[in-house]
Amino acid sequence: MSATEAPERIGPYRLLRQLGEGGMGVVHLGLDEEGREVAVKVLHQHVASDLKARDRLTREVETMRRVRSPRVAEVLDADLISDTPYIVTRYAPGRTLEQAVLEDGPLPDDGVIRLARGLCEALVAIHAADVIHRDLKPANVMLVDGEPLVIDFGIAHLVNATRLTQTGMFVGTPGYLAPEIIRDTEITQAADVHALAATVFFAVSGKPPFGSGTFESVCYNILEGKAQIDLAPPWLHDWLRKALATDAGTRPTAASLLRLSRALDPSVTVLREVARDGGTKILDASALNGNTPVDGTRVLDDAAAPAAQGRPSGVRDDDSYSDLLPPVNYVEPERPRREPRQPRQAPAAIVPPPLTGYPPGQAPPYQPGSPYPPPFPDQRVAGYPPPPVTGAGPQVLPPPQAAPPATQTAPPVPTGPSAQARPYAPEQERPRYRTGHPILAGLLLTVLVALACVLPVTVSLFAIVAALCLRVAHYLLGDLAARRSVRGSSGADPILAVLGTPWALIKSAFATLVQVPLAAMFGMCVWGVLVYMGKMGTDPAAAFAAGAFVAGLFLLPGGGAPRKAVARTLTGAIRSPGAGMVVALVVGTVAFFAVMTALSADPSWAPWRPPSVAIDDVVRSLKAKGQDTVVNLIGGLIGDITKRISGAVLPF
C-alpha cells in the first residue's frame, strides 16, 4: 500500500498521514473515535494474501501484549481477520534514534547514558515475558523527550517457540546481528544484549559498530568480534566490550547490563594499556585522569594515585615505585599445533602454481576452481578474510589458523542476490521430512470401504467409532498446535490436553451424531440407484450402500476433522520418502485384494441378518398392526438391527 493508495479510514480509525513504511506494512498516524492520536500499522496488500505473513502479524500482536513496560509501545487494538489486517499501538511523537543521529549527529554523553539505561529497562521487561526481540536497532527505537521507546516486534520470537525462518536464512539487520544468528546456532536472549550494545554504539559514534562495507565484510567483522570500540569514548569501552562479546555465554544479562549502565560516568575513565610495535606496553595518555602540564606529561594527583594503584584513597606507600616501572610484556607460550589426520589413501598430489604477492607461509584465500584445497568447515563459519582495502598502504592479511581434521568440504559462499543467506556452517541439520501422504490416506480409505462391502455391519460400526476418535484427536492436537504457535511448547501441555478431553469428546460426539445420518442418507441413495436403476438384488446393493456409508463418514461435509487427524498421524509416523513408498506399496497391494474380494465374495451381515429377510419380517409385522408406511418401515429396520447388535454385544 503506497501513500497515494492509503484509505481515509480503516475500521473505526481515521488515517491522517503516513509515518513510515517497512517490509511488511505501512505505519499511519490516525485518530480513534475519541480523537486521540494512535499509530496504525497496515499490512501491504501483496503480503496480506500470504498466510505466513498473517501468522507473523499475529505473532507480533501476541508478543507485544505479553510485554508490560513504559519503554515498549503497547498494543491498543488489532484486526487480523479482515481483508486489510492492521494493529494499533500507542503513538510516540518524535524521531527514531537513526533519524536523530543522522540529522543532528551523535548524542551527548548524558543522552547516551539515558539511552543505555532506558533500553536496558525495556530489554529487562521483554526478557521477563520470555521473548526475544531479535531486531533491536536504531530504526526500531523512538526518542520521546530524550527517553527511548522500543517499537516494532515484527520478527520477535518467544524463547521456546518454533522458528519461522527457513534453514540457511536469517531475519534481521546485518549490522546489528549477534554472531550466533549468523552461524544459525541456538539463539538466546543474549542476542538482544549484543544488538542493544550495537545500538548504543551507533548513538555515541554515528557509525555502525562493525563497519558499513559489503555484507560479507560486515558478517566477517561480527563473527570475529572486530567492533570499532575505539571510536566510542573511553568511559564506555568496558561496557561495550562486555555486551559485544563474541561468546554469548560471556555476555551479561539485561538486568546485569542495567546495573552496569547505572554506574556509567563520563567523568571517570579507566587506565588501559596500548601496545606499540608489539613491544613495551605504555599507558594511553588519553585515558588518564589528572593534571596535564604543558609538555604533555600527565601526573596523577594525590587523590587519584592511590586509587589507580588499587589502594584506598588517602593511603600511600612511599617505598613502592612499581607504578613508575613499565609493565612487563610476557611472551605467551606457543600452543602445540595438532597435525591433521592423514587419509588412508591419499589422492594424487596437485602441484599448485607458485605463490606471488603473499607473505611467506601465507596462502591466498580459496576461490572456486582454484588448485588450492578449500578451507576447513570451521574456517568457513568465520568467513573469508575481509575484502582488500582500496587505496594507498599495504594490505594486511589475517594470520593463518590451525586447520582441524578435514571431515567434509563446504560449498562456496554465495555471491550476488543470494548473498543474504548466512555463511555455510557444518552444523546445519537436514530438514525434516514432512508431508501429508494423500495417496496413502486414499488407499487406507479404499481398504476400509472394501471391507465394509464384505462385512457391512461390523465395519460400519468400527468406522463410526474410528471417526469419533479421530475427531477427538484432531480437536485436542489442533488446540495444542494453536497454543504452541503463540507461546511455544510448555510442560503444561499434557495437563491441558487431559483437561480438554471432555470438551473435545462432547464436540466430537455432537459432530458424529450429525455426520452419521448424512452418511446414512448417502448410502440409501446409492442403494436406491443400484436397485432401481442397476437392477441389483437387495442384499448386494445394501452391501455396497454400507461401503458408501463408510466413505461418507470421511468424504462428505463434516468429515474434514477425521481426514486431518489421519494426515497428521501419517506425517508423524513416516519420516522418510523411502518409508512412505514402502508403506504405500504394501497398503496398495492390500487395497487391491480387498476390492477384488468385495466384488466377488458374498457379504456377511453378522451379527445382523440379511436385509431382505429383515425387511420381509418387518413388513409382515407392520401389516399385521396396520402400520404399513415408509416411516414405520425405517423405524422398524433400525429397531431390528439395534436389537440384534445389542443381543450380540452385551453377552460378549
Same domain, yes or no, for 560 and 621?
A: no
In a domain? residue 327: no
367 by DSSP, 3-state: which?
coil
* pLDDT one-digit tens code per residue, 389-445: 554 444 444 555 554 554 444 455 455 444 444 444 444 445 566 777 889 999 999
CA distance 648 to 652: 7
In a domain? residue 407: no
pLDDT of residue 321: 43
Within 8 A by CB and 6+ apart from 325, the residues are none
506 by DSSP, 3-state: which?
helix
pLDDT of residue 139: 87
Domain count, the chain: 4
Which three cell numbers, joined as nine digits, stand for 254? Answer: 539485561
Give the chain's end-to-end CA distance (angstroms, integer): 68
Known catalytic residues? Answer: 135
In a domain? residue 339: no
45 by DSSP, 3-state: which?
helix
Of 50-54, 152-156, 195-199, where does mean pLDDT reach its minimum?
Answer: 152-156
Last residue of a domain, one of 42, 59, 90: 90
Same domain, yes or no, for 84 and 100?
A: no
Same domain, yes or no, for 79 and 218?
A: no
Last residue of a domain, one of 243, 262, 281: 262
Which three cell numbers, joined as nine digits, stand for 18? Answer: 503516513
Which three cell numbers, joined as nine digits, stand for 331? Answer: 611472551
Same domain, yes or no, for 86 and 233?
A: no
Task: Tell me which residue of 329, 293, 296, 322 sits closest to 308, measured CA to CA.
Answer: 322
* pLDDT one-digit tens code per residue, 548-575: 999 999 999 988 899 989 988 898 888 8
Same domain, yes or no, for 136 and 236?
A: yes
Same domain, yes or no, for 66 and 25?
A: yes
Confidence of residue 374 (pLDDT cuts 50, 70, 90): low
Question: What H or E segment, with its residue span, contains residue 29?
Answer: strand 25-31
CA distance 157 to 171: 11
In a domain? residue 386: no
Last residue of a domain, one of 35, 68, 90: 90
pLDDT average, residue stretch 342-348: 54
Q: What angle do CA 33, 74, 69 make, to 5 degrees?
A: 140
CA 633 to chain centre: 60
In a domain? residue 420: no
In a domain? residue 529: yes
CATH number at residue 15: 3.30.200.20
Strands 131-132 and 157-158: antiparallel
Which three cell numbers, joined as nine digits, stand for 637? Answer: 429396520
Say if CB 52 and CB 60 are below 8 A apart: no
Same domain, yes or no, for 529 and 619?
A: no
Same domain, yes or no, for 573 and 612?
A: no
DSSP 402: P
By residue range, what is the domain housing residue 22? 9-90
Q: For residue 265, is pLDDT > 90?
A: no
- Residue 651 CB neighbours (<10 A): 6
pLDDT average, residue stretch 519-529: 92
At residue 586, what is the residue type? V
In a domain? residue 329: no
Length of the chain: 652
